[in-house]
Amino acid sequence: MRAFVKWVDWINKVLDGLLGLALAVMTLVVFYQVLVRFLFTAFDVYTSAPWTEELARYLMIWIVFIGGAVATRYARLLAVDALIFAIPQAPGKIIKVVAHIVSLSFYACVFVIGLEWARQGLTERAPVMRISMFYLYVSMSISGVLMMVNTITLLIDTVINNKDIREPEVEKS
């Protein structure tokens, strides 16, 4: 089990790096779009870069889905924890474990819906960049799988290391 937890943490570290790269590319693309729209036209240089808005949007979608999956490993998704801290520790832990198990069913739904969208995306093309929409829609399924794996890893790691599952885990660098 410890090897599985280490493997998942390594995958998440790689994903963190890819998310940083995607964010940097998105930032550069948006910066270029601003240059084209405002700075270049101020100097009577008229050019167009319609792909920038589309690429930035698609990168943002991937960043949100994969970033959410990585955040799942460390229990950093939005949650209302008032109840679990208002009651004794043992019942609070049970409620939190049940919440994670319910979340697993939601992530499974995200996975299945993502597969359906990806299948439909095989016949669609992005309006400007002309890439298959499959590459955008498959982000849902990939995220669903990663969220399920990360939630299971969080539960396993909590049992192995006897951590208080009510507290978000601090990511190890």
DSSP 130: -
What pLDDT is recorded for position 64? Answer: 97
Read off the pTM.
Answer: 0.87
Tens-digit pLDDT profile for residues 114-160 = 999 999 999 999 999 999 999 999 999 999 999 999 999 999 988 88
The sign of the torsion formed by the CA atoms of 61, 67, 71, 73 equals: positive
Alpha carbons 113 and 49: distance in angstroms, whole number: 33
Cα-only R_g, the chain: 20
**Do residues 150 and 12 lie in contact, with contact meaning Cβ atoms separated by under 8 Å?**
yes
pLDDT tens readout for residues 40-82? 888 888 888 899 999 999 999 999 999 999 999 988 887 777 8
How many CA atoms are closer than 13 Å to the CA of 111, on its beta-carbon side?
14
The pLDDT score that the predictor gives to residue 172 is 59
**Extents of the domains making up the chain:** 2-161
